[in-house]
Amino acid sequence: EGIIESLGHEDFKKRHAGQRELLMWGKEDLQGSIKVLYRIYREADNPEVRLRSREVLKALVILKQPLPGQGYLGIQMDTARWKDEEGMMRPAVLITEVRKGTAADLAKLKADDLITGLDDVQFDDLAPTRRLADYIKSKGPGDKITLKVKRGKEHLELTASLRRRPAALDEIVQWGVLPVLPQETEMDEDYFQEWLKKQRKKDRNSPKG
């Protein structure tokens, strides 16, 4: 109760700290805390409490989402080659762009990085970009992959936790046409709005007791 009250405190720092504390509490029991927070969000009179409980509720709902569909890394890429220690030319995937807020961005991948392999996948000369794309799509959101990356003279291993693949990507029929994709935050908000709609429908259909 004290945490909820702090969400409406006149001191901004107290409100902010209360919101952070509420999020930490919520992560310990997603199922239970989502129910409690949804009720608070629906019933709160104080607009500040409503706003902040909505933010925490949204974060918890996003964490708990079942994440259907294919994995998504969030890069634009091209085929490339690199010379290994023995002087042999090897196929690789050149990152030409990293989309903000995606799995690739969070994994600290950068434009001009060369991906030389990922997990147990080694690229052969036949379309390494297709091989990488198919492998990512075979994974689900939330799955972790390890990318072998050549950055200048450095050889790195970076881990990416895949996000869900934006539906907009599947609507492109022609190769080479790049869509304007929604930012992760917009996708999360859309998902949360859908979730709220379902909850309200449940509310209407459940007998009042």
Answer yes or no: is pLDDT of 209 > 80.
no
Other Cβ atoms closer than 10 A to 165 = 19
Answer yes or no: is pLDDT of 111 > 90.
yes
| Whole-angstrom distance, CA of residue 190 vs CA of residue 209 | 31
Sorted by where each begins, the domain ranges of the chain are 2-64, 71-162
| Whole-angstrom distance, CA of residue 3 vs CA of residue 46 | 14
pLDDT tier, 9 (very low <50, low <70, confident <90, very high otherwise): confident
| Whole-angstrom distance, CA of residue 90 vs CA of residue 80 | 9
Taking only the tens place, the pLDDT of each residue in 168-192 is 554 443 344 444 445 556 667 877 8
182 vs 38, more confident:
38
Q: How far is CA 78 from the centre of its chain?
A: 23
For residue 184, what pLDDT is reported? 59
Answer yes or no: is pLDDT of 32 > 60.
yes
CATH code of the domain made up of 71-162? 2.30.42.10
Taking only the tens place, the pLDDT of each residue in 61-70 is 877 765 566 7
Q: What is the mean pLDDT of the chain?
A: 82
DSSP state letters, the chain: -HHHHHHT-SSHHHHHHHHHHHHHHHHHSHHHHHHHHHHHHHH--SHHHHHHHHHHHHHHHHHH----S-EE--EEEEEEEEE-TTS-EEEEEEEEEE-TTSHHHHTT--TT-EEEEETTEE--SS-HHHHHHHHHHHS-TT-EEEEEEEETTEEEEEEEE-EEPPHHHHT--STTPPP-PPPHHHHHHHHHHHHHHHHHHHHHHSPP-
- What percent of the chain has a predicted confidence (pLDDT) above 90? 24
Nearest to 191 by CA among 65, 103, 82, 97: 65
pLDDT tier, 145 (very low <50, low <70, confident <90, very high otherwise): very high
87 vs 71, more confident:
87
For residue 150, what pLDDT is reported? 95
For residue 183, what pLDDT is reported? 57
Taking only the tens place, the pLDDT of each residue in 122-141 is 887 778 998 898 898 888 88
- Both structure tokens of 117: 């392999």
Q: How far is CA 200 from the centre of its chain?
A: 25
Taking only the tens place, the pLDDT of each residue in 154-167 is 999 999 988 776 65
Nearest to 151 by CA among 182, 185, 201, 112: 112
Would you say the pTM of this structure is higher than 0.85? Answer: no
- Both structure tokens of 85: 């220690």
